[in-house]
Structure 1
Amino acid sequence: MSDPMRPRASLRTAVVWEVLRDALDRQVKTTGRRSLDVLDSGGGSGNFAVPVARLGHRVTVVDPSPDALFALERRAAEAGVADLVTGVQGDALGLFDVVDRGAYDAVLLHGVLEHMDDPAEGVTSVAAALRPAGTLSLLAAGLGGAVLARALAGHFTEARTALGDPAGRWGEADPVPHRFTPDQLTGLVEAAGVRVGAVHGVRVFADLVPGVLVDTEPGALDALLKLEAAAAEEPAFHAVATQLHVLGEKTAPAESATQEDQSLRPARTPL
């Protein structure tokens, strides 16, 4: 089966997909079950849900948009995984109106946190849907990438505004309500009782490289994908990534209560 994340659009998703697929493989080995229960909160039309289902896992997608859920149903049917994908109308802050607590081996929250009125509540909510030792995959907008992009476009005042704004916004016309530094994002995850396993910078270069270069230069797309993968795990590049991906594991209640005392991480910057 060909990899569903390898086309041109994979520049935006390849790093997250590789990390997520490996994490699910580890969950399979840990649990001894070939088919996991996965929740994709805000999963829309199934950009990740359908590929996850193609791995043999049962996926529930919760999304507020009926149109997105209709597209999800069609996409799952075309991929031959309609029996493994369930779409439910709802959102992360009302998650347990439509799904059960502690019922999932893995939860995805991709591209949703930055649009929530209360990001901390959103992370806490999705974390509560995890079984003990379950995997959280969180993808959210990075502050540094936005500052860099505005500066490179010549919007220096907006770049400075974003840098100093508590929510990381560059102005009233900014369509993104919240952006996060790596410390802010990992702080939210840890406060929700999830141990951070890894942080990845996503779209470090992809949004800055002219599309015509990638489309016309032989081998450029593959080389750029490899560069993104190599830079993703380097902390030096997290500060300038367009998006940040956090992979974590839900801790037991007693462990969660003491993990901050045992951690050698520097203090988190509050939102």
Structure 2
Amino acid sequence: MSEPSAVFGGETPSRPRGSLRTAVVWEVLKDALDHRAKAAGTEVLDVLDTGGGTGNFAVPVARLGHRVTVVDPSPNALFALERRAAEAGVAERVRGVQGDIHGLFDVVGRGGFDAVLCHGVLEYVDDPADGIRNAVAALRSAGTLSLLAAGLGGAVLARALAGHFNEARQALTDPAGRWGAADPVPRRFTAEQLTELVGGAGLAVGAVHGVRVFADLVPGGLVDTQPGALDALLKLEAAAAELPAFQSVAGQLHVLGEKRA
């Protein structure tokens, strides 16, 4: 994986900490799309972003020259996506449709995409395995799945460091990884659970990365006020992302899968 910078998809984020939460995933995704394009012998891929919302990934992917379809249940998010794509000059390459991953084929066709992004979706669906199967069914032969989901270990560590020890223990032992009734995230995963889901859907499991290993724990003042701190923290995140020991305490987990030809 190439070393991330503070620039995301050719744009400098308005908030430095935003780049900390996306840089590792973006670098992995960009490399995967480049690899897929070369293998397919094309410069333009068809990319599906399930739950893509306002286009945090869709718009930068479109700026690479690819066609992106965003499926999201929120009409407000899709309106913001349309405006964002227009402001970025990629409106003709971004299409938003209302729907969700369980009803995916009510709004898009099967087997029509070179890559599918499933970021921040599995935490909120009733049946994660069914959601993954739909994402895989949307892929063309040898297509790429980019899966990003909340990590169990990161939540346990965060609650413990905040002094909420009972909640940390609850998250550690709860089948869904929830720390209590007020927990806004319905489900969290370990790296093993995500790779089992990907493999169980018939994909070859590729790279696994821990995301937001340190970004959510480091005080914002340190990053915002110390010269060079943002770049140094970005490099630290990148260095730790591929190490299983740090994946186990990451706030999010990213898994790449490839559909067998």
Number of aligned pairs? 251
Q: 1:75 aligns with which of 76, 81, 84?
A: 84
Partner of 1:265: none
Alignment of 1:131-210 (within 5 A): 131-210=140-219
Q: Secondary structure at the match of 2:160?
A: helix
2:56 & 2:26 partners in 1: Cα distance?
A: 10
Partner of 1:93: 102
Instruction: Using the aligned pairs only, state the percent identity.
Output: 78
Partner of 1:50: 59
Q: Kindly indicate whether the alpha-carbon contact (under 8 Å) linking 2:62 and 2:93 is maintained by their aligned counterparts in 1.
A: yes
Partner of 1:227: 236
Q: Kindly indicate whether the alpha-carbon contact (under 8 Å) linking 1:162 and 1:168 is maintained by their aligned counterparts in 2.
A: yes
Alignment of 1:56-67 (within 5 A): 56-67=65-76
**Structure 2 unaligned residues grouped into runs of 5+:** 1-6
2:74 & 2:166 partners in 1: Cα distance?
A: 35
Letter in 2 for 1:89: Q
Partner of 1:124: 133
Partner of 2:115: 106
1:121 & 1:167 partners in 2: Cα distance?
A: 17
1:165 & 1:62 partners in 2: Cα distance?
A: 31
- 1:236 Cα offset (Å): 1.1
Superposition RMSD in Å: 0.9
Letter in 2 for 1:172: A
1:118 & 1:248 partners in 2: Cα distance?
A: 19
- TM-score normalised per structure 1: 0.91
Q: Secondary structure at the match of 1:190?
A: helix
Q: Kindly indicate whether the alpha-carbon contact (under 8 Å) linking 2:8 and 2:19 is maintained by their aligned counterparts in 1.
A: no
Measured against aligned partners, the alpha-carbon deviations of 1:159-214 in whole angstroms (never above 9, x if no partner) come to 01110111000111111111001100110011111111010000000000000010
- 1:28 Cα offset (Å): 1.1
Letter in 1 for 2:153: G
Q: Secondary structure at the match of 2:92?
A: coil
Measured against aligned partners, the alpha-carbon deviations of 1:84-138 in whole angstroms (never above 9, x if no partner) come to 0000000000000000011000000001110111111111111110011100000
Q: Secondary structure at the match of 1:20?
A: helix
Q: Kindly indicate whether the alpha-carbon contact (under 8 Å) linking 2:150 and 2:253 is maintained by their aligned counterparts in 1.
A: yes
1:207 & 1:3 partners in 2: Cα distance?
A: 18
Letter in 2 for 1:210: P
1:249 & 1:121 partners in 2: Cα distance?
A: 17
1:169 & 1:67 partners in 2: Cα distance?
A: 28
**Structure 1 unaligned residues grouped into runs of 5+:** 253-271
Letter in 2 for 1:40: D
- TM-score normalised per structure 2: 0.95
2:140 & 2:8 partners in 1: Cα distance?
A: 28
- 1:3 Cα offset (Å): 4.1
Measured against aligned partners, the alpha-carbon deviations of 1:205-225 in whole angstroms (never above 9, x if no partner) come to 000000001000110000000
